Chain A
């Protein structure tokens, strides 16, 4: 057993633990409130004063995935008795389901665009970061700053030219267009973060590989990449979170085909004004993939971030 002078005492650990847990509990309340709202009935969701204890229902989820119409008696007769549990929920409100909602499509669009742009961003970003880290790229510092500066532009400011440009190229409201756009926006963050990670990998490893007869590309591929994996994973999380949740470009540049979920969720309307349970259900489901992705890569996230253990 080794004893380290830097190991905090048990008292310190308890103190730190209690504070962190307290913060975590407070910070999670709004999130739990969203999840709970998804399981409320429309009346409970806006109840005055707010209710903490309520009878859970899947109505919000049914409303999220279906379009409903307020039914006249004729229509109810014509439709016959409800066949499924979700139809039954709709009928209780005097509505009939007229078809699936667009949420499924929007969600799928988010998956394609979010994960697609993250993958592309990692490929381009790792390559560029490696080059900036290892080679004498002309005007390196200026280029790096240029890359960062592209992130400073408010999306609204460039939305008009991008809109016009995309239309000319036929990229408007397409998955490819949005993937390219999000990749470009994310590249600055990823090049910066990845360069930091790659800087920390000792050059000696590659030198050894080069001496062993590897080409430069092989050295990058077989030596650097595996060592940078944790850094890449944690960078990927940040990129995914951004691309997954982006709103301003999505609301201005997409509509029918490639619209993602964020512009869609806050405005889900039911048969009587805003449908808060459905909005909350939509937000909850939308959170799941990123949450799973992050929890799966949790070790990488924390280890990746500790990468710079040896600094020069």
Chain B
């Protein structure tokens, strides 16, 4: 732990000056600065969360306003954890999560690495690459269904242009084996730029002097890459993974527009399943329990991850 800045300032400041600068105390400023944020988060995020937890122990249903609400204890949780369908959606989510992260990190980091070579016009091309992430995911999902249409879409024509064959030979969202990849491709197209930007920030944060020193030690470029570039950029990479992981765990709009969860249940991610329970079946109590389970899962995973991230940062 470092000593607090104010302490440092005070230590280095002659007594007379120190007294003058206190003015509004740091403690007061800290609270004034933090309080609105905390208040807003409590009101809009935490209060509903607590409400959700409360509802998760009841059989409340929004569409049965006249029915008595009963406490059912842990029954909702029991039902969810014993439901094999939920494990299927968890699997679909895991597949989506893992592959989008792998692809986006690989492609995003490679792009950032290449852009960092500072070739002429790199910031123009960077800007162009960033465009897809500015679109609305719902619009993207909607348009990719269009692109994936074997007859009128572009995707199959472009693919078969390179591989040969007939565009009607395969259907990205109609085939149970291809559909999970269809959503991975669309999401990767959209969000790789985000990972790229964060990686670029990481790469540019590495001071040239370190490379210069390595160069003096006659370390090979390959060695420099593994001993300098990767470790120095790692916290940023991990941050990118964290944000993409959280976002894609919640993934709803893009996939719901793209496949509607089908074919069958192949691309029914947890958020889509949850939405069906909450806003189609209107099982409010049950879906609240579902939400809590999801929240605990992602919260647990994320807290382990953030600990690791902090460790890497301190190194």
Contact = CB atoms under 8 A, between A and B. Distances in A.
Q: Do chains A and B touch in the complex (CB under 8 A)?
A: yes
Interface of A: 4-8, 12-14, 16-17, 19-21, 23-24, 27-31, 33-34, 37, 46-50, 124-125, 127-128, 130-132, 134-137, 143, 145-162, 164-165, 180-181, 183-185, 187-189, 191, 203, 206-207, 210-211, 213-217, 220, 241, 244-245, 247-248, 252, 261-263, 265-266, 276, 279-280, 283, 286-287, 290-291, 294-295, 298-299, 301-302, 305-311
A137 B34 contact: yes
A270 B128 CA distance: 32
A5 B204 CA distance: 16
B264 interface: no
B125 interface: yes
Looking at chain B's contact residues, is the secondary structure mostly helix, strand, loop, or mixed? helix
A276 B149 CA distance: 14
Contacts of B208: 4, 6
B243 A189 contact: yes
A291 B139 contact: no
Given A283-B143, A291-B134, A306-B205, A145 B250 contact: no
9 contacts: A4-B208, A19-B114, A20-B115, A154-B250, A162-B48, A180-B44, A206-B5, A266-B138, A291-B134
B56 to A, nearest CB: 10
The 3 closest A-B pairs by CB, nearest first: A157-B291, A305-B201, A184-B44
A8 B215 CA distance: 13
Contacts of A214: 21
A206 B10 CA distance: 12
Interface residues of B, number: 113
Contacts of B146: 37, 276
Contacts of B205: 306-309, 311
Interface of B: 4-6, 8-9, 12-13, 17, 20-21, 23-24, 26-27, 29-30, 32-34, 36-38, 40-41, 43-49, 51-52, 55, 62, 107, 110-111, 114-115, 117-123, 125-139, 141-144, 146-147, 151-154, 157-158, 167, 189, 192, 197-198, 200-201, 204-205, 207-208, 211-212, 215, 243, 246, 249-250, 252-253, 257, 270-271, 274-275, 278-279, 284, 287-288, 290-291, 294-295, 298-299, 302-303, 306
B34 A128 contact: yes
Contacts of A261: 136
B127 A17 contact: no
Given A156-B274, A161-B55, A180-B40, 19 more contacts: A6-B212, A29-B154, A50-B152, A127-B36, A128-B37, A135-B29, A152-B299, A154-B274, A154-B295, A162-B48, A164-B51, A165-B48, A185-B45, A207-B5, A216-B29, A217-B29, A245-B134, A294-B127, A305-B198
Contact of B143 (A5, A7, A30, A162): A30
Given A17-B121, A155-B252, A187-B37, A135 B26 contact: yes
Nearest to A286: B136
A13 B120 contact: yes
A158 B24 contact: no
Contacts of B32: 127
A2 B11 CA distance: 41
Contacts of B37: 124-125, 127-128, 147, 187, 191
Nearest to B138: A247
Contact of A153 (B24, B49, B141): B49
A189 B20 CA distance: 36
A191 B40 CA distance: 13
B136 A156 contact: no
Contacts of B198: 305
A187 to B, nearest CB: 6
Contacts of B45: 150, 153, 158, 184-185
A203 B250 CA distance: 38
- Residue of B134, B158, B299 most packed against chain A (CB within 10 A): B134
Contacts of B115: 16, 20
Nearest to A9: B117
A203 B129 CA distance: 35
Contacts of B6: 135
Contacts of B122: 17, 20
B129 A27 contact: yes
